[in-house]
Chains A and B, each alone.
Chain A
Amino acid sequence: MNPAVVEQLRKIAGRDAVLDRPEDLMLYEYDAGIRKSTPGAVVFPQTTNQVSQIMRLASSAQVPVVARGAGTGLSGGAISREGGIVVAFSRMNRILEIDVENQRAVVQPGVVNLQLSEHVSHLGLYFAPDPSSQKACTIGGNVAENSGGPHTLMYGVTVNHVTGVEVVMPSGEVVHFGGKAAESYGYDMTGFFVGSEGTIGITTAITVKLLRKPEKVATLLAIFETVDDAGQTVSAITAAGITPAALEMLDGWTLRTIEAYCHAGYPLDAGAVLLIELDGLRESVEEHAEAVQAVCLQQKAREVRRAKTEEERALLWKGRKTAFGALGRVSPSYYTQDGVVPRSKIPATLAHIGEVSKKYDLIIGNIFHAGDGNLHPLILFDIRFPDQLERALAASKDILEYCIAVGGSITGEHGVGMEKRDLMPVLFTQEDLDVMAGLRNAFNSENLLNPDKLLPTPRMCREIFGAARNPVLVQEGM
């Protein structure tokens, strides 16, 4: 990177707040996905004003910028373009305000997801979005990717819990969308911003909802002989008029792998299990727990266990939430997908994933948010063998195309990022994508802010020919 730009970054953020040595930059070249790209510098701002100055600098020096939280994303959202600036938010990690009466918190983007819930726990409150990486991932990253988690089924993804944002625009201007009210008149810029994957602006303060902790929680483990039986049960629970807080599925291979790692008490000989959580008023939780148990047994569950203590409950969730660590023990690399299908298509989709596994000769585990049809097939491979990576990518594409074909989507909570943007044209028409690109270009006119994300590869005329008034999309290579 141009040393003058690095020097400017040091002036803005402080001498100890910029990294540019190759050995340091290597730590910022990847996220939890599989893409890599080395930035030219990493800067750690401490204030909104510094972020604003960094944006102005990037614009005048024509260097691409990407915001980064904890780097736990799975779609390459936080990966820089080669030689770009990474704005890392680990020093903007303060909880700015807890407003109990308004049921809101205002946080800086670097606040760790779980840390917020722990911070307000004594008030009987919590922050609902709970990605599996919640011990590490940041709320700024959750906002960028519109992250979900197991309890999304009942409570919604991040956008349903954000009511206001402070945003630094690519020009360096600091603007505000929304506030503490649940909704605001005028265009819902807050809702549009959440999930824009860092392509519209960089958020520096986020107003989120705090929910009251449920009075009662029941956690059930339903054990099935086959994946198909478990899949059918998901629809049957919904048909019974019950919306659990969370409804997760683990297939036999995955739960055995996890059990060997963390001894959560999962049955080793099962075909699949459903991890079902109900929460709310004591009376309704009891009724629903009994009803769910009855549905599971009708749908050929071998056994339904219920956590008797908070420790038992925590153990069941520990297995679910540390699954990725467990898989790391048995495979050098794995590729996690995030496709979504209508709930009723889960059994057919799992059967298809089984065929894909055979076709590409790769082990594929399934551990996912069954209640809302959000699949996470884990494709195991060894990155040291290029043909295996190729097969893993091909298998992944095959699965996502199947999801789209049955009326689903390519991402439920991880974002499009770099890895899925070339599938966007399968989901959206060129006209749909042109409208989205029009919005991106209007806010991020030089496309310096998180380029190469969310929208597919076509290059804009303006990038080739300079700033066109009304950019027209042309295919790459034209």
Chain B
Amino acid sequence: MSTATTTRFGAELRAICGAANVVDDPALLRGRQVLGVVPSTVVTPASADEAAAVLRVANENGLSVVPAGGFTAQNMGRKPAQVDVLLSTSRLRELEHYDAADLTIGVGAGWTVADLAAKVAADNLFFPGDPALPERATVGGLLATGFCGPHRQGYGGLRDYCIGIRFVTGDGHKAKGGGRVVKNVAGYDMMKLLIGSYGTLGVITSASFKLFPAPRQTRTFIAEFPGAAEAFQFRNQVLRSPLDPICLELVSPGARQLLHGFGSDGPWLVLLRAAGSDPVLARYRAELGSAVARELEGINEREAWRALSNFSHTVEERCPQSLLLSLQLPLREVGPILQQLATVSASLKHAVIGRFGAGHLLVALWQPSGSTVQAKAFADAIAGLRHRLPIDASIAVLSCPPEVRADIAWIATPTHVESMRVVKKVLDPNDTLNHGRFLF
């Protein structure tokens, strides 16, 4: 966008948020690029009211807005044509409510996930959200991306424990869904629409969550398998057993090479994390039997899970030229897809992890060192995967090399697209938010 536009609306934005919170100095903006596009202005509202006023100005004047939290997941989607306003949630830091006895908390979207987790841990409570880089990732970003981490297995997804949400629509209306209590069916479930909407329906300003009692102790059991088929068989055995692990994670040999602390070489791994007393852990040991090669506890255990949560970031850091896909699959499809990866991506290397007991996989594909990026190889791999998946599986591209960005369909979903477009039209009628980056 031109500086002229900035000057024209800069005064209005400054009047809303204060001069210190509207940055349009090119030298400072360069560090806030979105897929290489330097924003014209970074605006940091301090409240939902200010965010709404900013969006009204943007909406009325045809400015494009990109909401941003900790900048840990901005590598998704098509490259925006321009970013007039980068709306940072970093000052939305209110503690709306915290009721330890009720196991609920409500915080501003700018809280980092690590701060939220630490806050409730002090009362022996637990927040299951486990994104990459939790010290930077914000609650707003966690919800907007619908991040699915290892705790998905035992605690469900954000859609299961986010109990209330406040947001500002693309045309600057403040709205909310849900509330502060753990059970509530009054009104439309706006949480569901906003979770995973990638900032295309509204700017999330705060949210309330159900919390869980912190496990008194956990243990991680590690099993090794020569191939994906055996790992999948083990998964089915666990799912059919009375065991109720809080994490059940698959790690491919390729992923072991990328991740820290998993040994650079070796077969497929399955990590099962259990919570409970000594007798409960003993029962896990008995049920899992000889499949378990070793156990992790304490700092080693925490580090291993932290590394798995960080997988998407590690891939971007260590293999910047890779394609990272996230797959949501019916449970039965996990095995066949694992076995077909090799054929789908014959010319590519691959790494897979995922909470495969819940049907979620992260797949990284990259070209062997030395070869140049070939868009076709990636496009073929995606097409090959789609071809093999049932209609009700869905795929999202989490990151990709710049060379292939323009040609990729970012999301494939079984859900009726026209109905999604209807929702978009109501909540962001002028396509102000993340214009053209994701679905529409």
Using CB atoms and an 8 Å cutoff, list the residues of chain A in contact with chain B.
99, 101-104, 145-146, 148, 152, 156-157, 159-160, 164, 169, 175-192, 194-196, 212, 214-215, 235, 238-239, 241-243, 280-284, 287, 340-344, 369, 372-374, 407-416, 420, 424, 427-429, 431-436, 438-440, 442-443, 454-455
When C-beta atoms are compared, the residue in chain A nearest to B397 turns out to be A185
Chain A proximity of B205: nearest CB distance (Å): 13
The answer on a CB contact under 8 Å between B181 and A409 is yes
State which residues 387-419 of B face A: CB under 8 Å.
390-396, 411-419
Q: Are B188 and A195 in contact (CB under 8 A)?
A: yes
What 1/0 mask marks residues of chain B from 184 to 209 whose CB sits below 8 Å from any chain A CB? 11111111110111000100000000
**Closest 9 CB pairs between A and B?**
A179-B392, A191-B192, A186-B413, A241-B213, A215-B242, A175-B416, A180-B330, A435-B175, A342-B102
A186 and B411 contacting across the interface, CB-CB below 8 Å = yes
Cα–Cα distance between A3 and B126 once the two chains are bound (Å): 61
* Interface-located stretch among B32-40, B218-226, B423-431: B423-431
CB distance from A72 to the nearest CB of B (A): 16
Q: Does B298 contact A (CB under 8 A)?
A: no
What would 14 A/B residue contacts be, using CB atoms closer than 8 Å? Answer: A178-B415, A181-B392, A184-B392, A185-B395, A185-B396, A186-B439, A190-B192, A191-B159, A235-B101, A281-B242, A283-B276, A283-B283, A436-B187, A443-B419
A454 to B239, CA, bound (A): 39
Q: Among B177, B329, B417, B426, which residue has its beta carbon within 8 angstroms of that of A186?
A: B417
Q: Does B267 contact A (CB under 8 A)?
A: no
Q: Which of B99, B182, B358 contacts A182 (CB 8 A)?
A: B358
Contact partners of A187 in chain B: CB under 8 A: 193, 196-197, 201, 415, 420, 423-424, 439
Cα separation A407 to B96 with both chains bound (whole Å): 12
Q: Smallest CB-CB separation from B413: which chain A residue?
A: A186
A231 to chain B, nearest CB (A): 12
**How distant is the Cα of A420 from the Cα of B411 in the complex, in angstroms?**
39
Q: Which residues in B have their C-beta under 8 angstroms from that of A432?
A: 174-177, 187
Q: Are A411 and B214 in contact (CB under 8 A)?
A: no
Question: Cβ of A180 and Cβ of B392 under 8 Å apart?
Answer: yes
Contacting B183 at CB < 8 Å: which of A152, A192, A287, A434? A152
- Nearest residue (CB) in B for A187 is B420
CB nearest neighbor in B for A201? B419
| Residues of chain A lying within 8 A (CB to CB) of residue B420 | 186-187, 189
B212 A369 Cβ-Cβ under 8 A:
no
Q: Is the CB of A238 within 8 A of B423?
A: no
Give complex CA distance A217, B176 in Å: 38
Cβ B179 vs Cβ A409 within 8 A:
yes
B101 contacts A344, CB within 8 Å?
Answer: yes
Pick from B181, B183, B279: contact of A148, CB below 8 A: B183
| Residues in chain A near residue B189, CB distance under 8 A | 146, 159, 191-192, 194-196
Closest Cβ of chain B to A26, distance in Å, is 29
Contact digits for B94-105, partner A, Cβ 8 Å, 1 yes 0 no: 000101011110
CA gap between A409 and B164 in the complex, in Å = 11
**Distance between Cα atoms of A239 and B211 in the complex (Å):** 12
Contacts of B240 in A (CB 8 A): 212
For A157, list chain B residues within 8 Å (CB). Answer: 183, 185
**Best-buried of A212, A424, A435 by chain B (most CB within 10 Å):** A435
Please, which residues of chain B bring their CB within 8 A of the CB of A185? Answer: 146, 196, 326, 328, 394-396, 411-413
**If the complex has contacts A181-B392, A281-B242, A281-B280, are A189 and B415 also in contact, measured as CB distance less than 8 A?**
yes
Question: B88 in the interface, Cβ–Cβ < 8 Å?
Answer: no
Chain A residues within an 8 Å CB radius of B418: 175
* Contact indicator B181/A156 (Cβ below 8 Å): no
B216-256 vs A, CB cutoff 8 Å, 1 = contact: the mask equals 10000000000000000000000110111000000000000
A186 B415 Cβ-Cβ under 8 A? yes
Candidate in B99, B101, B188 with the most chain A CB atoms within 10 angstroms: B188
* Residues of chain A contacted by B28 (CB below 8 angstroms): none
A184, B328: Cβ atoms under 8 Å?
Answer: yes
List A contacts of B193 (CB < 8 A). 187-188, 191-192
**Given A159-B159, A242-B213; 18 other pairs, CB 8 A cutoff:** A145-B185, A146-B189, A152-B183, A164-B414, A178-B392, A183-B159, A185-B411, A185-B412, A191-B159, A238-B101, A241-B124, A282-B242, A342-B180, A373-B182, A373-B183, A428-B176, A435-B427, A438-B426
